[in-house]
Each structure stands twice: as C-alpha cells, then as structure tokens.
C-alpha cells in the first residue's frame, strides 16, 4: 500500500470525490487531503442542469458534498492525485484525469455531448497519458445520470492507476495522447438543451410505437465448418428464431453437448414475473428446437446460463448479480434439476462471468458494477485452484474500463491454431448494440491482456442489428439480438 495526497478545492467538492477517498481508504492506502483556496470553478450551466434534474437523479455523483477535512502535512507522499484540474506539482508524481480531453468537468461534459455521448477519460502521470477509460453510458438523455456514470468511471480509473502505480506497472500508453486544447464550459447549456429535447422526443416515439418494453430474440442453426467466430459468415445457412408467445422473451443463449445430444440453455424472461429464469430446449437432429422448459429459478434475476462439464459432472454458472453473489450449480438430474454446489463470490455485482480452464487453474472473466457505474464497462478477473474455490480477485483488477471490450458475450473459443478468443459485448451505442471478438494474449498471476476487438457484423444469415451473445458446440450455433 502507498501514501497518497489528494488535492481538492475548498469550495467545490462533489460526491464522486468523496467516494474516491472512501474507496482508496478501504483499499488500505494511507490518505492525506490538501485543500486549495481560490475561485470556485463550477460551471454555472452545470449547476443549473443539476438543479433541473435533481428529481431524476438525486444520487448523482455530481451532487455537491461537504468539504473534505484537510489532513495534509503528515510527511512525504508516494503519489499526488490532483482533483482540481490544475496539474499540481510537487516532490511526488502527480496523477490527473481528463474528461473528454478537458481538465474542467463542465467543459468535459460539453465535449461529451458534442461527441454523441461516447466519452473517453484519460489518466495522466506528470502530464503523460498512462491509462484510458471508455465508460458505457446507460442513460443518454438525462445529463445528471450520464455524468454520474462518467464520474463513477473516473473513480475506477484512478483506482486502477493507483493499483498499477503501487505495483510499479503504471507505464505510458503505447500510443501517446497529447493534451487537448482546453475550453470553457459556458456552452454546456446550449449543447444540453437540444440534446435533451431530441432524447425525450425519441423516447416518446418509442412508447407510441407500441413495442414491448424490452425484447430479445434468440436464433439457432446447424452448420458445417466455420461459423461467425472464425470471420465473415460465408455459410449463408439461415438462422431460425426461437419462438415465444409474446408474454416472454429468450436471451443469452448457450449451447451444450452432452452424450451426443445438443441442448440450448437460455434466459427466459416472463414479463409477468419481472425477472429472468433459466430454461432449456433440446435441439433435434433435423435442427428443430423443442419449446424451452424452466429448470432454475431464484428470488432474484438469473441470466447468462453458462453450462459446462468437469470431472464427469455438469455445472452451471449463471449471472446472478442482482443477488450480489456468483453461484456454482450442479446438475442433479441433467438437464432439468440443478442444486447449489458453492457460492464462488459474495457481495459483488459480477456480470456474465465466463469460465476458462487453463493449466489446472480456473479463471473467471466478467464485468463488475462498482457503485453508481455501469454494469458493462469494467472487466475483472478471478482465479482459483479448484472449481468450488476459494476464488481470489486478480491483483490487477480492474483489468480495463471499456464499453466495447469489458463484458463477455458468450463462452471462450479455442481455435485450431491454439488461440483463445472471447466474445465481448459492444455497448458503444446502447446495451446489446453489438458484439466483437478479441484474443486473450497474456494471462498470468501478474497480468491480463487482450488483443484488439474484431467486430462481428450482421450478415445474410442473421441480418438483425446488434448481435449480443454467440455460442457454439458441434454443429449448433446460436446468437441473440436486442429487439
């Protein structure tokens, strides 16, 4: 653990800065706070917007907070974190964060609106870019909510930098990012107003359309040879949609082959129930799919039914983040009866944790929702020597913050030439908006790295926009899409 000096303005602390202090303290770092006097740098436009949207987002991380108690002057510090945007200098290295290239938050939010709400955060150590975050913004209409997710990502980005700094691994990015020209935030209100009107109008049109409140489609096909994961789909074998009765949808499809029979496990979401359950359908030899039957239900939402075999038993690790737990289930009578085998991780909101077994080690890759942040943009990794655990977080968690490359969208794929690929959800435009595939290039107790993401684009076989999940076993390949 290290000693950190955090510099804040006396008159303008915000909730996200208080949360950052609490997170770093909880991680065991020794924290000192220095307040600097001067004119408050709050944007009047931003303050007006926050007041207008207060009822929409009362817990926004941008809300004003009580001044932090000054505790500086207690000796030397290993790292300085400057939250004033002034690029403070001192004997210790100085860490700062740019919001869409801007040190001042209001100007950064104006730039975010101008860029279509696809923000980038850049962490700099003594002015040199050392890390980036591309947060996923769930609410692209109300600025206070979008900005809260932006600030939640800033907290996690700083945590990531502190972890790497303490381990001696906070290095300049391979591609330098020069500082951007600094602007003021006075034009924020003029970017906000048309953005809000357009967003509310789009939502109103969607409600008038009479569509289901949210809806996913699952599709399947039997093919020979390569499929979507290997590159552009050249088979042109059409997908068949898994039929529903309009009172539910099916999503998060996983294929599992057991004793020469093919099964499709899905999240089934009955609208009347208001949460997901796990169902299974068997694929007949001619490619027809039986009607799904429910096999697992909990008081909380279940999805992402990852099913696999190990040591002669069949297991499932579904997503159960709303229950604040990650559970291993065992098939008591496959495929219709499942029992709890072990709780792998408690007290965390882990999403779509995806299993990889390598060199007698068990690894889980997925995304974690931290505080008020997104559930889909922060990748974490856990490891264990036995399937039932104990499971330990990777020392470099979070591995990355990226709306395009953090949340898995299906099981790992082992290629014939020895590569390990992972489907990854692309939330650049919207959750469920797309899918990509990246190669796992480095995996050790000290580091995790992926290669660039190759987008999976719709083709003639499945032309719907936004493939969300990809799974295949044998000849059976399945996908799902939003809407």
Range in 112-116, 232-236, 265-269 with the lowest mean pLDDT: 232-236
Q: Where in the chain is the domain with CATH 2.115.10.20?
A: 216-482
User: Read out DSSP for 181-216?
Assistant: PP--STTHHHHHHHHHHHHHHHHHHHHHTT--SS-E
Domain 216-482 has CATH 1.10.1760.20: no
Section 380-406 average pLDDT:
97
DSSP labels, 93-106? -EEEEEETTBSSHH
**CB of 8 closer than 8 Å to CB of 14:** no
Classify each residue of 386-412 as buried b or exposed e, where b means 16 or more C-beta atoms within 10 Å of its C-beta: ebebebeebebbbbbbbbbbbbbbbbb
Check residue 88 and give its pLDDT. 66
Judge whether 384 and 392 are in contact, CB under 8 Å: yes
Distance between CA 86 and CA 103 in Å, rounded?
8
Side-chain half-sphere CA neighbours of 162 within 13 A: 29
Burial 258-297 (b: 16+ CB within 10 A, else e): eeeebbbbbbbbbeeeeebbbbbbebeeeeebeebeebbe
Separation in Å, CA 314 to CA 13, 244, 259: 52, 27, 11
CA torsion sign for 293, 411, 457, 133 is: positive
198 near 206, Cβ under 8 Å? no
Q: Which one has a higher pLDDT value, 240 or 56?
A: 240
Task: Say which residues have a Cβ less than 8 Å from residue 279's Cβ, sequence separation at least 6.
Answer: 250, 265, 266, 267, 268, 292, 293, 294, 295
Residue range 41-81, pLDDT digits in tens:
556 788 888 888 888 888 889 888 887 777 755 568 999 99
Two tokens at 293? 């039957």
- Which pLDDT value is given to residue 432? 85
CB 456 within 8 A of CB 233: no
Locate tokens 């359950």: which residue? 277
Give the pLDDT of residue 213: 66
Distance CA 86, CA 62 (A): 19
**Percent of the chain at pLDDT exceeding 90:** 66
Integer Cα distance of 419 and 199 in angstroms: 42
Q: Which of 164-178, 223-237, 314-328 has the lowest mean pLDDT?
A: 223-237
Q: Strands, DSSP E only, in 185-324?
A: 216-222, 240-241, 248-258, 261-270, 277-283, 293-296, 303-310, 313-319
Residue 463: the pLDDT is: 64
Residue 336 belongs to what H/E stretch? none
Q: What is the pLDDT of residue 482?
A: 85
Q: Which is more confident, 45 or 297?
A: 297
Selection from 180, 198, 1 nearest residue 104 by Cα = 180
The order of strands in the sheet holding 337-346 is 303-310, 313-319, 325-333, 337-346
| Averaged pLDDT score across all residues of the chain | 90
Q: What is the pLDDT of residues 208-217, one digit of tens each?
A: 765 666 789 9
> What was the pLDDT predicted at 16?
94
Tokens (6 digits) for 367: 């995304």
Instruction: Note the pLDDT of residue 204.
Output: 79
A 10 A CB-CB count for 242 gives 21
Instruction: Tell which residue, 133, 69, 67, has the closest CA to residue 97.
Output: 133
Mean pLDDT, residues 277-290 taken together: 94
Burial class of residue 89 in the structure, from the number of CB atoms within 10 Å of its CB (0-12 exposed, 13-18 middle, 19+ buried): exposed
The proportion of the chain whose per-residue pLDDT surpasses 70, expressed as a percent, equals 93
Work out the number of other CB atoms within 10 angstroms of the CB of residue 378.
Answer: 31
Q: 3-207: what fold?
A: Rossmann fold (3.40.50)
pLDDT bucket at 220, cuts 50 / 70 / 90 = very high
Q: Please check the confidence at residue 29 and state whether its pLDDT lies above 90.
A: yes
81 and 7 Cβ atoms separated by less than 8 Å: yes
Residues 6+ apart with CB under 8 A from 43: 104, 105, 106, 107, 185, 186, 188
Give residue for tokens 């990531």: 160
pLDDT band at 233 (very low <50, low <70, confident <90, very high): low
Predicted confidence band of residue 87 (pLDDT cuts 50, 70, 90): low
Residue with the bigger pLDDT between 459 and 7: it is 7
> Cα 249 from chain centroid?
23
Domain with CATH 3.40.50 in the chain: 3-207
Residues 136-159, mean pLDDT to the nearest whole number: 94
């Amino acid at each position: 653990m290290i000693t950190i000096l955090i510099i804040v303005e006396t008159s303008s602390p915000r909730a996200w800065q208080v949360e950052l202090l609490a997170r770093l303290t909880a991680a065991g770092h020794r924290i000192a706070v220095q307040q600097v006097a001067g004119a408050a740098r709050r944007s009047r436009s931003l303050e007006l917007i926050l007041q207008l949207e207060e009822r929409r987002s009362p817990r926004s991380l941008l809300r004003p907070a009580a001044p932090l108690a000054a505790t500086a002057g207690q000796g030397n510090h290993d790292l300085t974190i400057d939250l004033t945007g002034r690029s403070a200098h001192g004997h210790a290295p100085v860490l700062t964060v740019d919001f869409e290239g801007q040190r001042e938050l209001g100007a950064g939010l104006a730039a975010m609106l101008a860029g279509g709400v696809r923000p980038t955060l850049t962490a700099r150590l003594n002015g040199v870019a050392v890390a980036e975050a591309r947060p996923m913004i769930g609410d692209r209409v109300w600025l206070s909510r979008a900005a809260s997710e932006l600030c939640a990502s800033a907290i996690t980005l700083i945590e990531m930098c502190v972890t790497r700094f303490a381990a001696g691994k906070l290095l300049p990015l391979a591609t330098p990012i020069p500082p951007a020209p600094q602007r003021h935030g006075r034009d924020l209100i003029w970017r906000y107003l048309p953005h809000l009107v357009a967003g509310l109008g789009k939502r109103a049109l969607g409600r008038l359309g009479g569509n289901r409140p949210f809806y996913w489609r699952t599709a399947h096909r039997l093919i020979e040879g390569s499929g979507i994961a290997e590159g552009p789909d050249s088979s042109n074998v059409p997908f068949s949609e898994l039929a529903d009765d309009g009172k539910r949808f099916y999503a998060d499809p996983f294929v599992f082959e057991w004793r020469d029979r093919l099964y499709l496990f899905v999240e089934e979401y009955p609208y009347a129930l208001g949460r997901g359950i796990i169902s299974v359908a068997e694929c007949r030899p001619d490619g027809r799919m039986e009607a799904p039957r429910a096999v697992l239900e909990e008081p909380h939402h279940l999805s992402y039914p990852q099913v696999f075999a190990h040591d002669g038993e069949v297991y499932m690790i579904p997503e159960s983040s709303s229950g604040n737990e990650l559970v291993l289930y065992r098939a008591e009578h496959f495929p219709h009866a499942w029992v709890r085998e072990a709780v792998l991780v408690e007290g965390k909101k882990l999403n779509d944790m995806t299993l990889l077994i390598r060199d007698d080690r068990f690894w889980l890759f997925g995304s974690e929702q931290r505080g008020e942040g997104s559930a889909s943009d922060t990748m974490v990794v856990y490891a264990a020597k036995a399937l039932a655990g104990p499971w330990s977080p990777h020392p470099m968690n979070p591995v990355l913050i990226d709306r395009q490359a953090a949340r898995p969208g299906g099981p790992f794929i082992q290629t014939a030439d020895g590569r390990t690929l992972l489907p990854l959800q692309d939330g650049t435009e919207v959750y469920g908006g797309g899918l990509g595939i990246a190669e796992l290039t480095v995996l050790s107790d000290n580091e995790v790295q992926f290669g660039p993401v190759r987008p999976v684009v719709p083709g003639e076989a499945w032309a719907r926009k936004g493939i969300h999940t990809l799974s295949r076993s044998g000849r059976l390949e399945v996908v799902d899409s939003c809407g």
